[in-house]
Chain A
Amino acid sequence: MLAQQLLNGLVVSGVYALFSLGFTLVFGIQRILNLAHGAIFMTGAMVAYYTVSAGGPLWLGFVLAILASGILSVIVELVCFRRLRKTGDEEFGGIISSIGAGLVITTIAQQVSSTQILRFPFETFPVVIYRFWGLRVSMLQLFMAGAAIVLVLVLGYFIYRTSFGRRVRAVTDNEHASMLMGINPNMIYAQTYFVAGALAGAAGVLVGLAFNSISFVMGEPYLMFAFAIIILGGLGSIPGALLASLVFGMVQTLTIAYLPSGLTDTIIFAALFLILLVRPNGILGKDDAGSLRGRR
């Protein structure tokens, strides 16, 4: 039973990780909280749904969802943040304008979906259950865990092992110096937003498949959790977001399994407060991780 729950927790954690990594990546590089991230996640699920319901194969839905969410995320950066950055008021102003962008996207999705909860046709993802060592695992769960792990590894490889990743980290570290080294930060921002949006879109499709329920508001709870996750992990820290996703996914799954379900969020956020009392900058946060000012 415990092993089963840990496995379920791992799957949930994977989805949180995909969602939060993009959120923390954007915060790390720009010190901006993109509150439209939940709407971008939802867009991924919607695009996959409409592709499948139009008769397309699921893999195509997946690819289109990733592309669409990535592009939408770049549009949010261009429309909401780029102009504000020129005025130097991107931190607070950016939060407000990204809430606005989130509302616009959510409202469009509401119109398109006629405020309905959408469901993939039966067996869009084959229902296959594997049993081993007394565990019960669906093919979908395996796929979700596999997709999350692969995407996280690919992201890690790009950020820490390629020249593109070095440029992203250079801009994150010191935008001024990076320009003097021939880096165009606007290009890096656009690419980072694309990656962040694409990861969120992938998470959206996985969640849509897992619960077989897609609605225009599905991003909100995830945004809330991602907020808590990146604070817990240390704002802007990629390993921190991964670790915190794991903690969150596990705690959530285990509390749902063993305690009255109404207590889940209470326990999670109480744990968040307790951890922040001991580690005010998050588990892997730097001393200045929470400060919105400085560095430029």
Chain B
Amino acid sequence: MKHTVAALVEDRPGVLNRVASLFRRRGFNIDSLAVGTTEEAGISRMTIVVEGAEGIAVQVERQLDKLIDVVAVEDLTNLETVSRELALIKVAARPDQRREILDLIQIFRAQVVDVAPNSLIVQITAAGDTLDALLENLRPYGVREMVRTGVIALTRGARTTAVPHESAEARRFHSESGRRPEGELPFVTE
């Protein structure tokens, strides 16, 4: 089963290494991983698709959350989401085959973004299985090269995977509930 996990991370050197190292060490199988900037400066968002048994998403989520540079984690697998992947597919196409290919990709709402005498590049943005279906249909012509971005996803509606706020209100809540957002120095125990 595939699980989609979103992680908001500090945009710092080594953070990708930390996440990759964690997945390797714990034996989590990465299907795809997409990283990019977010609406908040200094925060990047990783969308990770993990292949594994039912319980694995919980371990992935908790182990990720243990990393200091990971600010928030959410398992999107069972939420209503918009998830998309972008692919560029270079297809072998003789001039007499172009029309046929154009008709085909229209069904998938894909576009041709580059044409050469014996090949063209198809661009598609879609959910994973639509993309796989297009790929299957293009294979007979000869797929010469392909690149995929990996899945990215957002929950539908107003709900967000939020960076924890540091408002006075939140801070009071956190300290009252025992989640201490700040530590008194020094921290040396008895």
Q: Do A and B come from the same complex?
A: no
